[in-house]
Structure 1
Amino acid sequence: MAPKHTSRKSVLGTIQATIDDIPEHRLHAPDAAIWGQAGVIAGLLSRLSNLPKGEGHERKFVNDALVFLQARQLGATVLTGNIRDFAFLSQLVPAGRITLYRSTGMPRSI
């Protein structure tokens, strides 16, 4: 959305209200150790995936690793349709728990 778009203020207000409605006990920020581990794991994913560099895959791998490691720290299971990346993650860090799904009619990524 462009900064001068007519609905920008309204949309940002709605997003802020939604975030404000989330109870504090539901928000968990990764600590420095999780960020460090996520960086290492994202680097491994990047090298193992053979995807082209500079197209945003590295950032996506960091985000996936953060979600995976944070869930592991909290004792939670990640429910995801991102089969390729999270299957790799579960092999690299077997202590994490994932539940993978594939929607009907969805193209296979692996």
Structure 2
Amino acid sequence: MSDFDFDAALRWARFDPRKTLARRDDEELPFLSDMAEAGQELLLDTCVYIDGLQGRAPDIVANLLDIRHSNHSTIAVQELMHTVGVLDPEHPRTRAAVRQIRTMIREMPAHRIFVPDADTLGRAALLSGILCRLQGYQRDARLRALHDCVLFLQAQKIGLTVLTANVSDFDYLLQLMPTGRALFYRSND
């Protein structure tokens, strides 16, 4: 017997608006303010790690991570490892990038790494399918949407807030499921 209840997931998906969603104005979204504040524990989206490694994360993100508990998802670990696999072994910067990712993953405290359960994975697949249909996502965007949905629902299930720079996709998720929590920042490009 599986931990996933197909019929319950279908009933749960009644939030489907059956229309394309529009990206809301930044003023309507939960962005980091100029000063880091204590608050709910965080679940980090993969972009937080990448922005940190590439020096694109604003100082406020580092300040926030200093005062709030940071949690990690195996989804982010999976995406980071995918990055390692995609990097060209012959490129002169690949070794340094792989070392940085290795260090980052090894420094994640085991008690702060969460694995999504079967219910979360099943509902996230359903949610990402709805999102892909509504927004017309194609190939690569579909896998990204699935990972975002797993992270979003995983955070909701364990009572965390997703920290992300992925404003568009997580705005859509918040519109579909307003009970979820995300906190946005803009990376320094």
* Interval of TM-score (by shorter of Structure 1 and Structure 2): 0.7 to 0.9
Q: Secondary structure at the match of 1:79?
A: strand
1:103 & 1:19 partners in 2: Cα distance?
21
Higher relative contact order, structure no. (Cα contacts within 8 Å, ≥ 6 residues apart): 2
| Structure 2 partner of 1:71 | 155
Query: Under a length normalisation based on structure 2, what TM-score does the superposition of the two structures give?
Result: 0.47
Q: In structure 1, list runs of 5 or more residues that go unmatched.
A: none
The answer to whether 1:40 aligns with 2:40 is no
Aligned match of 1:88 = 172
Tell me the CA shift for residue 50 of structure 1. 2.0
Within the alignment, does 1:57 sit opposite 2:141 as a pair? yes
After the TM superposition, which of the residue ranges 72-81 and 11-20 deviates more from structure 2?
A: 11-20
Aligned counterparts of 1:83 and 1:19: Cα–Cα separation in 2: 24
Over 3 Å counting, the alpha-carbon distance change for 1:89 and 1:2 in structure 2 is same
Change (3 A) 1:94 1:16: same
- The residue type paired with residue 144 of structure 2 is K
User: What does residue 21 of structure 1 align with?
Assistant: 107
Alignment RMSD (CA, Å):
2.5
Q: For residue 124 of structure 2, what is the amino acid of its counterpart?
A: A
Residues 3 and 65 (structure 1), Cα distance of their counterparts in 2 relative to 1, 3 Å cut: same
d(CA) in 2 for partners of 1:99 and 1:18? 22
Say if 1:48 and 1:25 are closer, same or farther in 2 by CA, change over 3 A.
Answer: same
2:147, 2:183 → 1: CA distance? 17
2:123 counterpart SS class: helix
> What's the offset of the Cα at 1:90?
1.2
Q: TM-score, normalised by structure 1?
A: 0.75
What is the Cα deviation at residue 21 of structure 1? 2.1
Deviates more, 1:69-78 or 1:14-23: 14-23
Q: How far apart are 1:7 and its partner, in Å?
A: 6.6
Moved over 6 A (4+): none
Q: What is the CA distance between 1:5 and its match in structure 2?
A: 5.4
Unaligned runs of 5+ in 2: 1-86
